[in-house]
Structure 1
């Protein structure tokens, strides 16, 4: 009897300790690069609700679509990586036609005016791509992009661009996939450019990448068929073009979407995700960490205003992220 009482006391003591320890601490933290707080908790709460059968917020697995902007959302965008790649392509183009070196925007690109590239919108970048990549096959373009990613280094951090994916967002992608979400990229960048690195960098297969595109045509090429790029823009996957691209490629509205503060390019995608019969989760990354990365805002604060009006979750990189880049970067 005495032994039984002692056992009961031990059991009661153990249960007391169990209750005292936060549930999150008992398991590996899937979002370990996020500081504890309202933003991190809101993500966990949404995923818990949407994957718990019987919950009012339950989302069937086939409807768990999450879309992410790329530049400034999944990795750094100062400079825009595709703009840095474009500079190398313009150099090659000028070797064939020296007169281009005196024309804008080719002149500014050649002079290394990364500030100009950072202010260029997606249509301007894609127009340059049309000039530099007409006639190339998908395979030729992919080979050039792979070479760039192997050799290019970020001007401030001195490492390959693929090492500058945000650690908290990589964890978020893994966390969502572990709970049955499909993770897609929906970015203003070139589709074929992002597809070269999407799987190795983010775990997102190339068929789940939506971006801006040039027109292409089928070329039999003497029994060796290829797709060849044209000097015409087919689709700009920016601003209002993002919901269009999502509808064409996925056929479902996202229930989770993430973008960032820069040029207002993600506003419509986040609105499209938030405003539906089942309100989706919308995440906006605010670049306010000049010490660890960069600090910049839109001139008119359009994205932050839209976030306040729409009830989006805003991430302060300075306050909400323990670290910006993966360990060992």
Structure 2
């Protein structure tokens, strides 16, 4: 039968009705099975929000950071922004034929994704910067929004924003109703994410931290405009994540959620602070409902963070056993 689609905004509202304060009786995380991961979340939120508790944390200091790809939504078989970039490169090459012989542009035009994934993160971001440059910030936002209207996941044949994780939507709502401020901290492009994170996750643009290219202010037809340049400004991945958090927030979060070694430094920095801390890794183990991958994946590789999780007190959540559903809308 056909699937019935529920808009993410509605899903967030539904999740919020379950996400009662820590002292409430309703299950705030209905898509999480009973187990170590769910218990760790509930106990953590309970102790940091209980007045008079030695672990009480004032609301202003209740900050939680979330990686995006593979933590909040599906990142396989390819990072969504790379799918977007390949489409943009093909359009870019029609007006800039000189780029067709450059290795990464040639690979993108020919659909050679392995070559794109084989280069360093810096080279890949430079490639994205070049293919995403030349527009004003407003023009780029429109391009991103228009792309999401028609783009579909190759396996599930659904819009990418349908493939957010229902358990994480519930977690975001639960944290916010307990006076946490939730941030995305992603290696993805910040201007690529900001157009859709609020309707999808309830996270406003100013709470999105990501990689960026340089912007230039100039007047166009007498109007002040910000233009995107083909130059890297900041890479918000690996060791860049704690730097990005400090630059944008100015406080060390008390909870961090990730799924790959790109989140290792964020998890380590956040959980090394004083007082109660929570670090959680989403481990992709469900090949039937989503994907199963870790050590040998080109996308979302998870080795060091998983190996060191026990000694650092990080919770490794098993998608197959800890989640009773994956996406907001399952097939009927």
| TM-score normalised by L of structure 2 | 0.87
Q: Which residue of 1 aligns with 2:304?
A: 302
Q: SS at the partner of 1:315?
A: strand
Q: Which residue of 1 aligns with 2:210?
A: 211
C-alpha separation between the residues in 1 aligned to 2:204 and 2:63? 14
C-alpha separation between the residues in 2 aligned to 1:259 and 1:120? 22
Q: Which residue of 1 aligns with 2:17?
A: none
Q: Which residue of 2 aligns with 1:313?
A: 315
Q: 1:116, CA displacement in angstroms?
A: 4.6
C-alpha separation between the residues in 1 aligned to 2:163 and 2:79? 12
Q: 1:99, CA displacement in angstroms?
A: 4.1
Matched length: 303
Contact 1:122/1:188 (8 A) holds in 2: no
**Structure 1: any 5+ residue segments left out of the alignment?**
1-23
1:323 aligns with 2:325: yes
Q: SS at the partner of 1:212?
A: strand
Deviations 1:269-298 (A, max 9, x none): 001110011241101111111111111113
C-alpha separation between the residues in 1 aligned to 2:131 and 2:190? 16
1:123 aligns with 2:98: no
Q: Which residue of 1 aligns with 2:61?
A: 63
Q: 1:102, CA displacement in angstroms?
A: 3.5
Q: 1:120, CA displacement in angstroms?
A: 5.6
Q: Which residue of 2 aligns with 1:12?
A: none
Matches within 5 A, 1:138-177: 138-177=137-176
Q: Which residue of 1 aligns with 2:263?
A: 266
C-alpha separation between the residues in 1 aligned to 2:146 and 2:135? 16
C-alpha separation between the residues in 2 aligned to 1:121 and 1:175? 37
Q: Which residue of 1 aligns with 2:244?
A: 245
Q: SS at the partner of 1:53?
A: coil
Of 120-129 and 267-276, deviating more is 120-129
C-alpha separation between the residues in 1 aligned to 2:30 and 2:44? 17
1:46 aligns with 2:44: yes
Q: SS at the partner of 2:103?
A: coil
Of 109-118 and 169-178, deviating more is 109-118
Q: SS at the partner of 1:303?
A: helix
Contact 1:189/1:212 (8 A) holds in 2: yes
Q: CA RMSD in A?
A: 1.7
**Structure 2: any 5+ residue segments left out of the alignment?**
1-21, 297-301
Q: 1:103, CA displacement in angstroms?
A: 2.9
Contact 1:273/1:279 (8 A) holds in 2: no
C-alpha separation between the residues in 2 aligned to 1:51 and 1:248? 26
Contact 1:80/1:118 (8 A) holds in 2: no
Contact 2:217/2:225 (8 A) holds in 1: yes
Q: 1:223, CA displacement in angstroms?
A: 2.4
Q: SS at the partner of 2:262?
A: coil
Q: Which residue of 2 aligns with 1:180?
A: 179
Q: SS at the partner of 1:305?
A: helix
Bigger CA radius of gyration: 1
C-alpha separation between the residues in 2 aligned to 1:311 and 1:129? 36
Q: SS at the partner of 2:65?
A: strand
C-alpha separation between the residues in 2 aligned to 1:114 and 1:290? 21
Q: SS at the partner of 1:184?
A: strand
| TM-score normalised by L of structure 1 | 0.88
